[in-house]
Every structure is written in C-alpha cells, then in structure tokens.
Amino acid sequence: MFIDIAKIKIKAGTGGDGSGSHYHYRRKRHIKPNGGSGGKGGDIVFLADAKIHTLLDFRYRQHFSAKNGSNGGSQERTGKDAEDLIIHVPCGTLIIDAETGYTLRDLTNCGEKVIAAKGGQGGKGNSATKRDPQKGAPGQEKEVSLELRLIADVAIVGLPNAGKSSLVSSVSNARPKIGAYPFTTKAPILGVYESNETSFVLVDIPGLIEGAHLGRGLGDKFLRHIERTRLVVHLIDIAAESTNDPVKDYETINNELKLYGANLDKKPRIIVANKIDLPGWQANLKKLEDALGKHILAISCLKKQGLEGLVNEIKRKL
C-alpha cells in the first residue's frame, strides 16, 4: 500500500543522573565526593533510505522513543551515552514540526540524516559540582509530520483512462496495473527509462478529473509528487469514442494544476495526443492543435507508435 503522509510522536532519551557517591579515606575524617556524571540520552534521527518507498509502517506505529542515558557511578565513572534511535524513511521525505509547521529537513538525497529531537545531557556527578549531584536533562519531545514527495524527472498527467500507465510501462521498467476503466492507478507509479546515453525517472500520477482540488475522484493529493519534477507530460486521449472535446480535456487538467498552486502549471510541458490507433483521432488532433496554436506529438501506446519521438523530445527538454 502506498502511503505518503504520516504523523508521529517522537521523544529523545533523558540524560542519566549524576552520582552522589563519596569516598571515605581510611583513618581520616574528611570525605571526597567521587560521583560520576550521567550519560547523554539518545537522539531521534531520520535517515533517507533508498530501500523504502512508502510511509506505510508509520500507519501502525506512531510513537518512537530513544533510550535514556545511563546514570553515573562511583569513582567518577561516567554513565554510558544511549544509542541514537534511527528512523528510516523514503528518499524525498519532508520532516515537518507539526506544531510550528517548520520544515526540519527535506531529505532529498538517499543516505541523508537529520536530528529531529536531541537527547538530554547527563547530570553532573558530585565530583564535578562539589555539591549535590544533578538530574539528567529531559530529551526533546515533539510531534512531526512526514510528507513523501517522490523524486522523479518527468510527471505524466491526464484524465482517467488517458493511457498514462500504458505510457509508463511502454517506455520504462514499470509494470503498473492497466485496465479499460477509470482510476486503474490509485497511487503514483515510478518507472525508469534507460539507454546507453541517458536515463530518467518517470512518475505516473493517478488520473485527475474536474474538481479534483475539491476532493472529487481521487482528489489532487498526489499532485505534490509533481513538485520535484523538471518536466510534465500532459497526455490527452484524442480517440473519437473517448472524448467529446479534447480542448476541454486539456483545459480541465491545466486548471487543476493551476488551482493546486506550487507553480505546477508553469513547469515545462510536453502535450501528447494518445490513441491514434482508434478512429476519429485526426479531426480531434487538428482541433487541439488549432486551439493551442502548435504542433502536438501524436502516439499510440498500444501499438507503440510515436514513442521514440516522444522519448527524444523528453531527453531534449530535460
């Protein structure tokens, strides 16, 4: 299951208490304080892990606590620092302070880390303070939101059944579910195109419909995954049996991108007409080209027509 938003509570470890130990000299009255300081509590660390692709695990576990530092001992022995608690998340995850809305880190690079909550310092022992020992400081505690934004070069958008999944499967290594009915794809699908000269990552965005920004259909919740992409491929079904007006279909998607914000409608774009293997496509293609005032690439994902030209155009744009 693809989950791209989660909210969890994290608590760093408390520092260990300082020791109040004393050393009694034989046959002497005075006493020497020899208590050691406590160890540091463990930090909460988020790590971007290339092997993880969803936030599903955080649906079943929402509380994470690091271990406390060990208490100090006699003979000025310092308590052991607690190990940090490392939480693995997908690459491209934003770590956001849920209370302030401040982004602690955008983990775009795999292997990147961020300390989200710091462990408390250990309390000083009486050998250091020359008086009563100190308690360990509490670790930071907070609620954080996790938002996954997939890292891809090219986003494929369009109405349901425009052929987005077929396109991704035709030019990349992805094998999404493909069906002759709307909303076959219910979560973004990543695919990688590779050749001897270059490679790029595509993401198939689940189909949008008019009013997606209001929650209709699958809504626009997956559009956040376009924010990192460098290029948008807008796929339009131009078969006569599939659409009444290809221009309106184009405007519907364009309007939803604009209403979402984040300048998605300003990203470099390739407009592609699909399903030229079906009757009536010539008239619809001319209508679309006349309305937009430019030549539009025409392909058939089913018959693998025009795909080489599309891939070359994607390479050129990137």
The Cα 19–Cα 64 span in angstroms is 28
127/46 Cα distance (integer angstroms): 36
Structure tokens at 260: 């979402």
Q: Return the pLDDT at 28.
A: 67
Q: 259 with 253: CB under 8 angstroms?
A: no
Q: How confident is residue 98, by pLDDT bands cut at 50, 70 and 90?
A: very high
CB 233 within 8 A of CB 270: yes
Residues 120 and 180 in one domain: no
Which domain range does residue 229 map to? 154-317
> Which of 58-72, 73-87, 177-191, 273-287 has the lowest average pLDDT?
177-191
Span 244-296, pLDDT tens digits: 788 999 998 898 888 888 888 889 999 999 999 888 889 899 999 999 999 99
Query: Domain check: are 248 and 222 in the same one?
Result: yes
Q: Which of 148, 167, 188 is the last residue of a domain?
A: 148
243's CB contacts (< 8 A; 6+ apart) are 236, 237, 249, 284
Structure tokens that stand for 288 in this block: 């679309």
Q: Are residues 191 and 210 in the same domain?
A: yes
171 shares its domain with 208: yes
202, 166: one domain = yes
What sign does the dihedral 170-174-179-184 (CA atoms) show?
A: negative
- Which of these three, 101, 119, 148, is where a domain ends? 148
* 107 has a pLDDT exceeding 80: yes
pLDDT of residue 166: 87
Strands 63-65 and 93-97: unpaired
CB neighbour list of residue 116: distance below 8 Å, 6 or more residues apart: 10, 44, 45, 46, 95, 104, 105, 142, 144
Residues 6+ apart with CB under 8 A from 80: 16, 39, 69, 70
Indicate if 299 and 165 belong to the same structural domain. yes
Q: Which amino acid is at 216?
A: R
Same-domain status, 297 and 202: yes
Q: Mapping DSSP to helix (H, G, I), strand (E, B) and coil, where does residue 44 land?
A: strand
Which pLDDT does position 298 carry in this prediction? 93
Question: What pLDDT digit, counting tens, does each position of 133-166 carry?
Answer: 999 999 999 999 999 888 889 999 988 888 888 8
What is the pTM for the complete model shown? 0.75
Percent of the chain with pLDDT over 90: 46
Q: What is the pLDDT of residue 290?
A: 92
Are 63 and 169 found together in one domain? Answer: no
* CATH code, domain with 245: 3.40.50.300
Shared domain check, 118 and 64: yes
Average of pLDDT values for 85-99? 94
Which distant-in-sequence residues (6+ apart) come within 8 Å of 230 by Cβ?
A: 153, 154, 267, 268, 318
Q: Bigger pLDDT: 62 or 244?
A: 62
pLDDT in tens, 168-223: 888 877 564 444 444 455 577 888 888 887 888 888 888 777 776 666 655 666 78
90-99, 192-201, 245-254, 308-317 — which is least confidently predicted? 192-201
Domains: count for the chain: 2
Asked if 96 and 145 count as a contact pair (C-beta separation under 8 A), the reply is yes
Q: What is the CATH number of the domain that holds 78?
A: 2.70.210.12
Q: Is the dihedral of CA 129, 131, 135, 140 positive or negative?
A: negative
Q: How far apart are CA 297 and CA 295, in angstroms?
A: 7
Do 246 and 111 lie in one domain? The reply is no
Return mean pLDDT, the chain.
86
- Both 143 and 163 in one domain: the answer is no
Domain end point (choices 117, 148, 179):
148
Least confident of 52-56, 65-69, 112-116, 142-146: 52-56
What letter does residue 147 receive in the DSSP assignment? E
Pairing between β-strand 141-148 and β-strand 93-97 as defined by DSSP bridges: antiparallel
Query: What number is the average pLDDT over the span 29-43?
Result: 88
Do 103 and 68 belong together in one domain? yes
Higher-scoring residue by pLDDT: 26, 317: 317
Please check whether residue 117 is in contact with residue 139, taking contact to mean a CB–CB distance below 8 angstroms: yes
